[in-house]
Structure 1
Amino acid sequence: MKRNRGMLRIIFGRTAFAVISLAVQVMILVAAYRFLSRYMVYVYGSFTLLSALVIIYILNKEENPSFKLAWMVPIAIVPVFGTLFYLFVEFQILGKLIDKKLRANMEHTEGYLAQNPKVLENLSRISRQSANLAFYLKNSGSYPVYGSTNAKYFPLGEIMFDEMKKELEGAKRFIFMEYFIVERGEMWDGILEILERKAKEGVEVRFMYDGMCSLSLLPYDYPKELQEKGIKAKTFSPIVPLLTTYQNNRDHRKILVVDGHTAFTGGINLADEYINRKVRFGHWKDTGIMLKGEAVTSFTMMFLQMWNISEKETEDYGKYLRDPEYYYPLELNMDGFVIPYGDSPLDQETVGKQVYLDVINSARNYVHIMTPYLVLDYEMIQALTFAAKRGVETAIIMPRIPDKKYAFFLAISYYGELIRAGVQIYQYIPGFVHAKVFTSDDSKAVVGTVNMDFRSLFLHFECGVYLYRNEAVRDVERDFQDTLVQCRRVTLEDYKNYPWQERLAGRALRLFAPLM
């Protein structure tokens, strides 16, 4: 009986409705194509010319070559349908409106993200290369470099969860939370209980989660349920059954800010598998980081920039800076430099990718990476292989148990050329790696939400933290070495022994990877 009820929920649920609605819209496009095909004798020449013009437009567009190829092939093979579909996707205005509002919000917060010239001068004196990266991040999105910030690294989600609860309990003024995945269970229920209690105490609580959750994890009207508990809540870009490209740009960020003095980010969402209370794909290896100090201002503003995309009233941003009289514990070591940064898929600036490339290209001794996915464009392949060829130890830890089969097939399609160039690839034997971590030369590290795939690097809203000569860098590298002990290295022979169907599927999927 329960099984029947479950099937009925699937058949008559929101997800089924959305899928059916989208399928109907695709069928309408196909029907339009077939209708035009009847008159191909009359219109073929016109569409051939239009297809040629569209291809010329794509070639001259400021875009990653992989995206250009992914569009040009279907346009060349099926000129009428391919051209119609490209034009339909290209001239969507909702994404442009979101980008315009986000840019306006960033302008409003720019005054609160001014660069301290002494900090930049100190960084320039120590490392011109890191200062150049800081200059880029400030110009690309007003993300300054900070000193006077403590960073605490968490090698597992369950460890960070305990620290998150502790900081939430101490909130006195406000709590901001922005997450990609939220699912009811021990983790979210424990946090929600604190949020509800804090709201009753007069603490301002704002909670935003990505609209994908409303498809299967949470009720569509869940924000109303939270609002009844005193929590200001909303979904980012709710899923609607319409063919539109802006719905492809998800909010993949994970941000928690408490009172403007403490912030968390990393790969850890609010669901039980992230703290290993629920087993999915074996042991779940994830990482995160907590900041205390001046750099938290960037995360505060990043949250408010995204929150106010759907707001009409002007925000009083200055009200959410940390209290000047707040004193950090004396035991916190605030050495080194910290740059929190965000990435938008709508501004043509691939911040997350550029940070990763900078770490790889500047590495002298080693670059160590943990990532759940490996879907690379030409630039990233060249950077990784060249690093290995010039004697830099280049090592990547991947999951042994993938969460998505197609992502695994895509990843192994790169193994051959990477391994032949000297890149070391390892698989995490206990299960799934969801960490997004870079570390290099005992001096720099990146911890954040950015996967090494097209979705994170080009299509999602993301965030991360770049660390230079901060004591947390040592902890990130120690965690990489501890994790490496639980891994098995993939050899060229292993790659050749993968079933030919999987290798073929991965190579075929590479053509469409930018659009997946």
Structure 2
Amino acid sequence: YLQKRDFLLYNRTSAKYFGDGMEFFDDLIAHIQQAETYIFLEYFIIAEGKIWDRILDALKERAAAGVEIHVIFDDFGNLTRFSDDMIQSIQDAGIEIRDFNPVHRYVNRIYFNYRDHRKIAVIDGHWAYTGGINLADEYANLFERFGWWKDSAVRIEGDGAWALAAQFIQMWEMMYDTLPNEDDYYRPRTEGPETPGFCQAFTDGPLNNPDNPMEDTFFQLISSATRFLYITTPYYAVEESMQQALCIAADSGVDVRLMMPAIPDKKYAYVVAETYWGELLRHGVKIYKYTPGFIHAKSVLVDRKMALVGSPNMDYRSFQLHFESAALLYDMPVVEELLEDMDAVMAQSALYTMEDWKKRSWLRRTFASLLKLAAIWF
């Protein structure tokens, strides 16, 4: 249902890449302040703090000016970070806000696992954002949780922004109620810029099953690589078919590089990820551990021609249970921006070797093998 409309290529679209959280927030807030018609926000985490205070101030000012504003946040992602008083304050400002899949309603049922992991912002149908960055202070490194927090996001400007706007509309109408206006009201009212290349923003979720556009896109990117394939992900717990696809790519001569955190936020997930690395290393995949801290970026780069920046992790939850969002970028200048950022990540990373993998203690190996049995739930 969520993928049946507007899964299209757009060429009147430009894009800007963000590899720094504070730069992303400054840009997002600047465009919120320019909103004239509407603002859509859909995020896994919206946490109270300095960043949210800045965003909320901008939202309240625009709401007072008559701009229509709708916000979706995931209930599980915000259990301890978004108070009832804050929600009431937002509603009092004339902003429509809804929680996705309330935990208390489905705590004893499988629906509890269906989370809205998307990161989407749309302003006037002309600017749209997606990526790995949630609306919280740690994403701007205003405080330290796991060393330096490294993330990624992309801003789409022009016709391609409508794809994310349409997906937000469908989510809102499916979960809550109809919006005040017809869909066409939310389309962009100005033409997009003339730029090279194409953009394809899209979403995925459990309602698409057994179709799986997000996982299928990862497979296509991996199989289409002829020179190099760079991937950043905070978690790695994939099905055998994707593991084999990466090994086959490396065997065929593709320079495959996987970038992951050196300081993980979930140690059990990191231990499980290690169980996959031995096979990858045997087939020539290079694995980099980002030594400054935690890399939360979810991005793929292929042959300096195609790139994906979005919200999905390389794990079962993202591919099967979560609602996710991403932007595919073809032959656009923004691909070079991502390449530069990935090169910088690798320059600050330590190469993980087969010797490192073999030196794991027997206790760590045993613990990892047991945890791997439940890896699909991490």
TM range (shorter): over 0.9
Q: What does residue 188 of structure 2 align with?
A: 322
Retained in 1: the 8 A contact 2:45–2:78?
no
- TM-score norm. by structure 2 comes to 0.96
**Does 1:451 pair with 2:313?**
yes
**Is the aligned partner of 1:188 residue 2:49?**
no
Q: Does residue 472 in structure 1 map to residue 338 in structure 2?
A: no
Q: Which residue of 2 aligns with 1:411?
A: 273
- Give 1:322's aligned amino acid: P
Q: Give the Cα–Cα distance (whole angstroms) in 1 for the partners of residues 301 and 284 of structure 2.
A: 18
2-structure distance, mates of 1:457, 1:185: 30
Separation in structure 2 between the aligned mates of residue 214 and residue 369 of structure 1, nearest angstrom: 28
1:152 to 1:504, Cα distance in 2 relative to 1, 3 A: same
Q: Distance in 1 between matches of 2:263 and 2:78?
A: 27
- Out of 179, 191, 198, the position equivalent to 1:337 is 198
| Cα deviation, residue 515, structure 1 | 3.3
Judge which range, 254-263 or 239-248, deviates more: 239-248
Instruction: Provide the rounded CA distance (Å) in 2 between the counterparts of 1:283 and 1:462.
Output: 24
Show structure 2 runs of 5+ residues with no match.
Answer: none
Superposition pairs of residues 315-464 of structure 1, within 5 angstroms: 316-323=182-189, 326=190, 334-348=195-209, 349-464=211-326
Query: Gaps (5+ residues) in structure 1?
Result: 1-102, 114-142
Whole-angstrom CA distance in 1 between matches of 2:145 and 2:260: 16
Which range moved further: 156-165 or 217-226?
217-226
1:5-404 matches, cutoff 5 A: 103=1, 110=5, 113=6, 143-220=7-84, 222-240=86-104, 242-313=107-178, 316-323=182-189, 326=190, 334-348=195-209, 349-404=211-266
> Hey, what does 1:54 align to over in structure 2?
none
Higher relative contact order (CA 8 A, sep 6+): 2
The amino acid that maps onto 1:316 is E
Residues 491 and 213 from structure 1, CA distance in 2 versus in 1: closer, same or farther, beyond 3 angstroms? Answer: closer
Q: Give the 3 Å change call, closer, same or farther, for CA 509–232 of structure 1 in structure 2.
A: same
Q: Tell me which residue corresponds to 1:53.
A: none
Counterparts of 1:252 and 1:214 in 2: how far apart (Å)? 12
Deviations 1:374-417 (A, max 9, x none): 11110111001111111100001100000001111111111111
Could you tell me how far 1:312 is from its partner in structure 2? 4.2
Match of 1:483 among 332, 345, 348: 345
Percent identity of the aligned residues?
38
- How many corresponding residue pairs? 375
Are residues 312 and 229 of structure 1, via their aligned partners in 2, closer, same or farther at CA, if it must alter by over 3 Å?
closer
Say whether the 8 Å CA contact 1:214–1:238 is kept in structure 2. no
Shift of 1:365: 0.4
Give, in angstroms, the shift of residue 155 of structure 1: 1.2
Contact 1:214 1:220 (C-alpha < 8 Å) held by counterparts: no
Question: For 1:262-309, what per-residue CA distance to the aligned partner results, in whole angstroms no more than 9, with x for missing partners?
Answer: 001100001111011111100000010000111111011011111112
CA–CA distance in structure 2, aligned partners of residues 476 and 214 of structure 1: 30
Give, in whole Å, the separation in 2 of the partners of 1:452 and 1:467: 19
Partner of 1:255: helix, strand, or coil? strand
| Aligned partner letter, 1:155 | G
Compute the TM-score of the two structures, normalised by the length of structure 1.
Answer: 0.71
Which digits, 9 at most, give the CA deviation of each residue in 1:169-211, with x for residues without a partner?
Answer: 1111100000000111111110000001110010111111001
Closer, same or farther: CA 498–346 of 1 in aligned 2, 3 Å = same
Q: Distance in 1 between matches of 2:225 and 2:175?
A: 41
**Aligned Cα root-mean-square deviation (Å):** 1.5
477 and 313 in structure 1: CA distance in 2 versus 1, 3 angstrom threshold: closer
Q: CA deviation at 1:226?
A: 1.2
Q: Which moved more, 1:236-245 or 1:406-415?
A: 236-245
